[in-house]
Each structure stands twice: as C-alpha cells, then as structure tokens.
Structure 1
C-alpha cells in the first residue's frame, strides 16, 4: 500500500510539470503562416505556403512545429499535407513529444496509424520519462491505440527512466477497469515480457495482485 501511494504521488507531481501542453489561446493568437494554417486545418493554405517556401519545421515558443500543432488540433489531413511536403515527423517539441505520442495520449487511433504511415517512428523515445507512445497509451488504457502501435512495431518491453514498461504502467497507473484490462490483454497476447519488474524487482503480476485487480491477475498469471 505504501509503495502504491508513493508511486501515485510521484507521478502526480512529475506529470503536472511535464504533461503535454496544447497551444494556448495566447499561442494561437500569435500564430501565422503554417502554424496558423495547421491549427485551423486549412490544407489548401498549407500547400500554398509550402510551395512558397515556408519553413515546415519552424518552432513556436514551446518548440512545436506545424505538425505538432495540427496533431493537437486533430487535423489529420493537415498532418498529412505537412508530412508530404517534407515536415520532420519525428521532431520533438520542448516537452519531448512527437506527433505520434500526442495522438496516442489524445486517444486518436486514426491519427496514430496515419502518423506511422507518414514516417513517425513507433520506437521513438519521447517525454521526460524516456518513454514511448506505447507506454503513454498503456498508462491511459487507450487500448485501440495500443493495438495499432503494437501492429505498427512499437517496442513492447521498452523500460523508461522510472524503470517501468508499458505493462507495468498499465497496472500501476491504471484503474483495473475494462480499458486497462483490454490494454494488458493486447500487450500479453503480443508477447510483452511479464517478468520484467520495476527498479525494486516488483513484477506487473505482483503489482496487480497487490491492488486486487483480479481480471488483470488472470492475464498475467
């Protein structure tokens, strides 16, 4: 119980400081060119600006490229237009997020698949936790996103700098409900290593047992 409380408190503090941050109203008010067109999803304007030589990888004050801005606004066609024009789909903004992880956190399966099709690498190391899009999606129980990332070749057993895999995050940061159960089912069926423990050697099964997550215990046992 004490370990669970420590884990929860640690992530609450760290997450508040390092969570993804979409463009604010103030940011948007200062946008022009490709950043504005991306935010508004205006593909014709994106194409016009690209043809005129606009910088596809220009950064706003938070390090967001137009592709990041389009992803935060869920404008799939704008993301595609930028990528096809030559935008770097593996660029990281100041909080170390790429388009793919933005889409994963937003629970946007279609954009997740599109980002990978456009060259966004599913094994890219993202966030200040040195994680991946898969770990972020597993943490949140976004099982359809998890399924698409797995199908796209995302590394199942990447260990972040908290010493957590996607399986561990789905257990200790999940609620044990249907979405996290399905997430863990997908990871286990895909071959995620159930024996990898956290930095104290505590396995996903042990964490699930400690929390009384019976359905998850059945999947991990």
Structure 2
C-alpha cells in the first residue's frame, strides 16, 4: 500500500482532531478518516495532491464535513461526565481520608462550571489548531485561559467556607458508597478508554497518604514520601 505524503497525513490528523473536538461520534469519525485515506492514496498514486480531494481550502473542507455530521450528544455528555468525575475523584478520595463527605452547593456548581469551561476552551483551541496554519496562538490562548480558570478554582476553594450556601452532608456509610461508585466508574472509564493513567495517577496521589496515616506512623519512610 502506498505511503501517504506528509501533507495528506497532516490533513487526516487535523480532520480527526476537529471532528472529535466538535463532539462527533468516534466510530463515524474513524470511518470517514479511513475512507478519505483511501481516496488520498488513490489520488497520490495518480500524481495528484490533497487539493484534488479537499479543494483549495482543506480547512473549509474539514468544516463542511463537520457540518454534515450529526453531533453525538450522548457520547459528548458521557465524555464530559467522565472527565468531571476523573478530576473530582482526586478531591473526593482526599476528602474520604479526612472524614465523611460534605460539599456546599456553591462549591459543586462552581467546580462543574469551571472544569466545563476549561474543556470548552480546549475544544475551541483544538478546532482552531486543526483548521489554521501551525502557530503558537492556540497554545497561548489555552495557557492564558487555563491560568485564569486555575485562579478561579483557587478562589473557589478559598471562599467556599466564607460563602453561605446550602451544604450536603453525607454519613460515613453514604460516603463509602459514593467512594465505591467513583472507584468503579474510574475503573470502567479506564477500561473503555484503554488507558490506566487516571487510576495509576490517583493511586500515586493517595497511597503515600494512606501509608503515612495508617501504616508507618513515625517511620523514616515519612520523610521520603
């Protein structure tokens, strides 16, 4: 099978990134990428370039494909939920070490809004990067936006105890059940995504604290951990 040119490979990568960042179904996206890959191989074997398939503007062609595809809201919601659960799990299990769970409505709403905003910014930066010439602009915008959101998260943590808001208190039993559900969800998400980065990262974050608190209190190992 003929090897694609760098220009064609770049186009296919940009297409895939743009479609996935736009909330399109992963399988449908892969099918389109595979079909276009075959067309590009045929075109290049005849001595033609990417323009024979995409026209004068690959970016416009990518956007037109995205417009024709249906947005997979179910998969987008599931992905958003997985990311929120993954990020929140670090806080959740940390709080479980300190006692029964307790969260204010102010904190929960603020946390969800800020993490969702971060994902929206990331999606827009990826789409911009996929349809424009390589530049530092999307990375600078994402870095700046991330910095602002991080500061807002810090402010959320600092002001949580000072803002009057309905607070949800959980018993030890309920807290344990929530922790178990979160653990199973993380395991299922890792299995579905075929990557164990989140479970291993969570383990690396929590295990030293567990060892210090319950296993080797007073041990020289504490200094190392």
**Given the two structures, how large is their TM-score scaled by the length of structure 2?**
0.23
Which structure features the higher share of helix residues? 2
TM-score (norm 1): 0.23
